[in-house]
Amino acid sequence: MPEPRRAPGAQVPAAVTAVGLRKSYGAKTVLDGVDLRIPAGSVFALLGPNGAGKTTVVKILSTLIKPDGGQAQVAGHDLATAPDGVRAAVGVTGQFSAVDGLITGEENMRLMADLNHLAKREGRRVTAELLERFDLVEAAKKPASTYSGGMKRRLDIAMTLVGSPRIIFLDEPTTGLDPRSRHNMWRIIRDLVAGGVTVLLTTQYLDEADQLADRIAVLHGGRIVAEGTAEELKRQIPGGYVRLRFTDPEAYRSAAAALPAATADHEGLFLQIPSDGSQRDLRAVLDRLDAAGVEAPELTVHTPDLDDVFFALTGGTTPATQPEEAVR
Ligand code: ADP
């Protein structure tokens, strides 16, 4: 049964909570106090570049490795005192895939059914249903080593679902997939959540987090440096602007004089005015241009996207924040 949708802000029970997770390898601190709260029935994206520690978080939360410090509850079970409860509630797929390439897709599924102690007949039923659902019926009798990247990921998820987990950890589910398989995977993830499952997804892709996640946490320097909905994160940083492009240098100079807040590109005849992208802001810009008697042949509005947020948080720069020559 799908869980009921709640109004934003209403108290949704947590599927996963973690406080102060720490992990080091030798002298290298990978996690330096990670806190997480993942509402049940949602998609939560843990976003970070390669090497940020995303897989380490997933391994800890699925009991594959122990943290050096901190605590976590997964599906109400404490990681340290009830690891079996955690393991029974979660399914993990991703970089450390369980797919065995030497046996067929169907055999992989049956093996999973046995591991989950399903009765023979029930195992066959679940296997057939999942192979069908993930479009693997035709490939079912072929060795998994012959599968494409997208097929392997689908088989991996299908195997995870044999145990009917309430929480699924997907570690970089679309890394290395072609665009079609990637969109296919996004559809699968949306379907899982529509069925009431909680998904913790790790990704290096901002657009993936933006597309799929109800909430996003940015992992950087071993800590969560920001957490919220995509919209909340975008609101945290400036970076919106109106950009005007001119072809006539005379009009460009008049506009620059009329818009003293703009940064300017004299070569390209661009003016860029900080803006929240609202109608009021736009009107103010246009009124000034009207008053100066100039018309811009091209006007574009840029509102901050997750790229801007990510780079602002992790210390990179974007075209919107790179210094340009000021007009004043
Ligand atoms: P991500 O999933 O974000 O790419 P990982 O969690 O895989 O990052 O790795 C984070 C860091 O921890 C990396 O620098 C990686 O080299 C290091 N690391 C991961 N596992 C081990 C290990 N078993 N021994 C030593 N270093 C490790």
For residue 269 and ligand 1, the question of a CB distance below 6 A is answered with no
Read off the pLDDT of each residue in 137-158 and give the average, rounded to a whole number: 92
What is the atom index within ligand 1 of the atom nearest the CA of 26? 25
Ligand 1: distance of its center to the CA of 56 in Å?
6
Give the pLDDT confidence score for residue 320 in this predicted structure: 30
Question: Are 73 and 217 found together in one domain?
Answer: yes
Q: Which two tokens stand for residue 158?
A: 């299908």
pTM here is 0.78
Ligand 1: distance of its center to the CA of 150 in Å?
24
Give the pLDDT confidence score for residue 283 in this predicted structure: 93
Question: Are 73 and 193 found together in one domain?
Answer: yes
Question: Are 282 and 200 found together in one domain?
Answer: no
pLDDT for 322 beyond 70: no
Question: Are 271 and 157 found together in one domain?
Answer: no
Looking at the domain assignment, is residue 141 inside a domain? no
Question: Are 86 and 27 found together in one domain?
Answer: yes
308: three-class secondary structure by DSSP? helix
Give the count of domains, the chain. Answer: 2
Give the pLDDT confidence score for residue 316 in this predicted structure: 56
Looking at the domain assignment, is residue 111 inside a domain? no
Look at the chain and count its residues. Answer: 328
For residue 55 and ligand 1, the question of a CB distance below 6 A is answered with yes
Query: How far apart, in whole angstroms, are the C-alpha atoms of residue 84 and residue 82?
Result: 5
Looking at the domain assignment, is residue 168 inside a domain? yes
Question: Are 155 and 73 found together in one domain?
Answer: yes
Tokens 């079996």 found at: 84
Read off the pLDDT of each residue in 198-219 and give the average, rounded to a whole number: 93
Residue of 321 and 45 predicted with greater confidence: 45
Residue of 319 and 291 predicted with greater confidence: 291
Looking at the domain assignment, is residue 255 inside a domain? yes
Question: Are 151 and 59 found together in one domain?
Answer: yes
146 phi and psi, to 5 degrees? -90, 0
Residue of 10 and 297 predicted with greater confidence: 297
- Nearest of 314, 92, 80 to residue 218 by alpha carbon: 314
Find the helix packing angle between 120-133 and 105-115, rounded to 10°: 130
Q: Report the CATH number that the domain containing residue 274 is assigned in CATH.
A: 3.30.70
Question: Are 285 and 219 found together in one domain?
Answer: no
> What are the pLDDT digits (tens) for 240-299?
889 999 999 999 999 999 999 899 999 999 999 988 777 888 999 999 999 999 999 999
Contact 273, 254 (CB under 8 A): no
> What are the pLDDT digits (tens) for 68-122?
999 999 999 999 999 999 999 999 887 657 788 899 999 999 999 998 899 999 9
**Dihedral angle of Cα 179, 181, 184, 185, to the nearest 10 degrees:** -100
Give the pLDDT confidence score for residue 126 in this predicted structure: 95
Angle at the Cα of 176 from the Cα atoms of 56 and 110, rounded to 5 degrees? 75
Angle at the Cα of 99 from the Cα atoms of 30 and 164, rounded to 5 degrees? 85
Question: Are 176 and 281 found together in one domain?
Answer: no
The last residue of a domain, from among 208, 235, 262: 235
Q: Give the mutation target among 22, 25, 34, 50 for probing the ligand 1 site: most ligand atoms within 8 A of CB.
A: 25
Give the pLDDT confidence score for residue 10 in this predicted structure: 60
What is the atom index within ligand 1 of the atom nearest the CA of 172? 2
For residue 272 and ligand 1, the question of a CB distance below 6 A is answered with no
Which runs of E-coded beta strand occur in 75-222? 77-78, 90-93, 167-171, 198-203, 215-220
For residue 203 and ligand 1, the question of a CB distance below 6 A is answered with no
Ligand 1: distance of its center to the CA of 71 in Å?
20
Looking at the domain assignment, is residue 24 inside a domain? yes
> What are the pLDDT digits (tens) for 18-37?
999 999 999 999 999 999 99
Atom 24 (ligand 1) nearest CA: 25
Which runs of E-coded beta strand occur in the chain? 14-25, 28-39, 43-47, 69-74, 77-78, 90-93, 167-171, 198-203, 215-220, 223-228, 241-245, 263-265, 270-274, 298-302
What's the domain range around 254? 241-303
Question: Are 179 and 268 found together in one domain?
Answer: no
> What are the pLDDT digits (tens) for 184-198?
889 999 999 999 999
Looking at the domain assignment, is residue 183 inside a domain? yes
Give the pLDDT confidence score for residue 327 in this predicted structure: 34
For residue 25 and ligand 1, the question of a CB distance below 6 A is answered with yes
- Nearest of 28, 30, 26 to residue 222 by alpha carbon: 30
Query: How far apart, in whole angstroms, are the C-alpha atoms of residue 321 and residue 316?
Result: 9
For residue 221 and ligand 1, the question of a CB distance below 6 A is answered with no
Q: Give the mutation target among 22, 24, 29, 30 for probing the ligand 1 site: most ligand atoms within 8 A of CB.
A: 30
Question: Are 227 and 173 found together in one domain?
Answer: yes
Contact 160, 93 (CB under 8 A): yes
Give the pLDDT confidence score for residue 4 in this predicted structure: 53
Strands 167-171 and 69-74: unpaired
Give the pLDDT confidence score for residue 5 in this predicted structure: 57
- Within 10 A of 4 (CB to CB), how many other CB atoms are there? 8
Query: How far apart, in whole angstroms, are the C-alpha atoms of residue 23 and residue 31?
Result: 5
Query: How far apart, in whole angstroms, are the C-alpha atoms of residue 298 and residue 32?
Result: 47
Question: Are 229 and 248 found together in one domain?
Answer: no
For residue 50 and ligand 1, the question of a CB distance below 6 A is answered with yes
Looking at the domain assignment, is residue 7 inside a domain? no
Looking at the domain assignment, is residue 188 inside a domain? yes
Give the pLDDT confidence score for residue 178 in this predicted structure: 87
* Average pLDDT of every residue of the chain: 88
Ligand 1: distance of its center to the CA of 171 in Å?
13
For residue 11 and ligand 1, the question of a CB distance below 6 A is answered with no
Contacts of 84 (CB under 8 A, 6+ apart): none
Strands of the sheet with 14-25, listed across from one edge: 28-39, 14-25, 69-74, 77-78
Contact 200, 172 (CB under 8 A): no
Q: Report the CATH number that the domain containing residue 181 is assigned in CATH.
A: 3.40.50.300
